[in-house]
Structure 1
């Protein structure tokens, strides 16, 4: 798989730009701040329908424009697919596949398999658990696009359930306990009966979607784990053993439970936490409370790993994702955004050896000499608002 052409209209700093990429190596060179990362961000958006830099779409649209457009021509098995995305902050984004409108934007997921490593990935090691959950879910959707609907449905249920719990919490707080009846046998406060009755309905949805998402994550971590260890040892040999472990908010005895067991465990956990949830006004059970723990030797990477170790671990997580996708039978596009400036010469050469055989590699850098010779292919020079092929 490779991207043959990328076109942007009113995306970030670009009013209009088009770049014809090549299979194999592609190096985008230019000073900081001229828009190199904007190009790879657009590629990442086609693959995931999200930016790796910002949480909302508004910053992706050029100042003064109402919408932004990304067009991406993707070649796989000698067939070309044109993906077009119209980004409209405040409205539903629109998508087209080979010029035909898609029913939903997420129907384009799976068209481009891509792994992007960027400086922001340091947060995978040093940041909050939400960063690592997003890493898992993005990879899960890349491998099996159907999980985009599971993920979306689960997030919607959690949001609705939190709103109901917040309402019950505020009702209790403002009532000051007046008119409160005795708690029932399930230890549920009886002064918010309407909210609790609706909450029970949402519990069913939370259990169903949550168990499905959790099962996918557990299966993914089991498949990903050996690739992480191998990738870290390749990037930083002799620096300790890297490992990942999934830590669920549920009390799971079986390391590989089936869906029905996960649903039963979630139902039990919800019943046990109902009083605490109402007292705190938030959902306390489910995949949104889980953690992917990263360890180097006997110690957690977060808080203990040095800057170099953290950088190497973040890189190993992306390389592991790349290797796992390759093992699935589809060669993904690999993007390295401003990576080599952060690596010493030894790590640069080791990384080059690992990725030199990629079907398509896109590298951004401020200094061309930072990129190992083995990865240099087509070269593009970026300046303010334009990108041109270097002769």
Structure 2
């Protein structure tokens, strides 16, 4: 982490959440918390609502939860909606972000008390980097975990990519629906179904997919040196990292080690070239897609390959190395976003209990000078002294400043 940003948290580029209030969010009928720049530590037994607080702040930043895939669990049982309000101070200016979460209906948002056309219009008002035990799945889990990580970082850097992702997902759903109909018709011996519009959807998928793919490749290239630096600091120089992108347009062998396509000079981020490559791959996969009823080519099938030394981290990294890698990915993201001009809020959700003493101390030393660090812990002793800032006790739905 860039320690040259140390000093006054109100410095230009520094960001912090000054106030958070929740109504019918998770376990809270209502709660309000005044936060401070620097470390803020939430302490309490498991199941008391610590993570709910930082999850809500993360939701303001990404419009998603790091714990669940849908919004329904975020609304308190028996309530019809949840409301999150966050006062965000950035570059000495304050913004009020308000989000209304309504399961089964369109969510609504306001910025400085004025309604916005779409909730995603508030993206960029607050940027966060959140590290939680679930992040070990970035190293050990399925490609979907790494795609989500790189896409959220991409949107944090350039909020316009939220619309690109939404457009791609919409076209993918439409194209899959058409392929499923064709597959069903074939199984019923009724021919291949009506596929006259498939080429139209191919064009839309390739156009949106190429734009998303170009963004991913650019952000991955920018992120890589920051992750390498962070891993070196967290692991005390024990190992070297490299990030690579495996695209479904170049084949996807499950037996061979994936080749990092970012190392291939012919694979660049030219959108026109990427569009052409996706269209070629769609044409080559058409018979398989019709047979299976699903789109087999595109960014939704890609992966980010995490290398540790000469081997992929997935399947080869030890437990400690996996934790260090996951942590390096988040710290690298923090430094990348900070370098872009706008230091994010750093959230460490129940991570110190998972780390040994040496990793705890190294992590605390790396993050202690951040504009704002939000820490949750079941036991206060798990939090290193370098992060013993403002403390809140959380119990029985109450948040009390100590």
* TM, length-normalised to structure 2: 0.92
Equivalent in the alignment of 1:187: none
Partner Cα distance (2:357, 2:186) in 1: 61
Please point out which of 332, 339, 345 is paired with 1:333: 345
Equivalent position SS for 1:197:
coil
Equivalent in the alignment of 1:29: 43
Please point out which of 22, 29, 35 is paired with 1:15: 29
Equivalent in the alignment of 2:10: none
Deviation at 1:242, TM superposition (A): 1.8
1:54 correspondence with 2:54? no
Q: Spell out the pairing of 1:211-290 with structure 2 (5 A cutoff).
A: 211-251=210-250, 254-290=266-302
Equivalent in the alignment of 2:330: 318
Partner Cα distance (1:324, 1:9) in 2: 33
Q: Is the 8 A contact 2:38 2:370 kept in 1?
A: yes
Equivalent in the alignment of 2:113: 99
Partner Cα distance (1:90, 1:258) in 2: 39
Moved beyond 3 Å, runs of 4+: none
1:362 correspondence with 2:374? yes
Deviation at 1:239, TM superposition (A): 2.4
Equivalent in the alignment of 1:307: 319
Listed one character per residue, the Cα deviations across residues 209-256 of structure 1 (whole Å, up to 9, x for unaligned) are 000000000001100011111111111124211221111112375232
Partner Cα distance (2:237, 2:216) in 1: 29
Deviation at 1:199, TM superposition (A): 1.4
Equivalent in the alignment of 1:150: 164
1:117 correspondence with 2:117? no
Equivalent in the alignment of 1:379: 391
Structure 2 unmatched runs, 5+:
1-14, 251-260
Deviation at 1:141, TM superposition (A): 0.4
Q: Is the 8 A contact 2:231 2:237 kept in 1?
A: no
Partner Cα distance (1:23, 1:205) in 2: 45
Which of the two has higher C-alpha Rg? 1
Equivalent position SS for 2:188:
helix
Deviation at 1:353, TM superposition (A): 1.4
Structure 1 unmatched runs, 5+:
181-190
1:174 correspondence with 2:194? no
CA-atom RMSD, angstroms? 1.1
Partner Cα distance (2:37, 2:186) in 1: 62
Q: Spell out the pairing of 1:135-214 with structure 2 (5 A cutoff).
A: 135-175=149-189, 180=191, 191-192=192-193, 194=194, 196-214=195-213
- Quick check: 305-314 or 318-327, which moved more? 305-314
Listed one character per residue, the Cα deviations across residues 320-363 of structure 1 (whole Å, up to 9, x for unaligned) are 10010011010100000111111111111111111111000111
Partner Cα distance (1:238, 1:81) in 2: 40
Partner Cα distance (2:268, 2:363) in 1: 33
Q: Is the 8 A contact 2:231 2:328 kept in 1?
A: yes
Partner Cα distance (1:88, 1:350) in 2: 41
Equivalent position SS for 1:250:
helix
Equivalent in the alignment of 2:86: 72
Deviation at 1:299, TM superposition (A): 1.5
Partner Cα distance (1:77, 1:326) in 2: 13
- Quick check: 104-113 or 295-304, which moved more? 295-304
Partner Cα distance (1:332, 1:226) in 2: 19
Listed one character per residue, the Cα deviations across residues 346-389 of structure 1 (whole Å, up to 9, x for unaligned) are 11111111111100011111111211111111111101111011
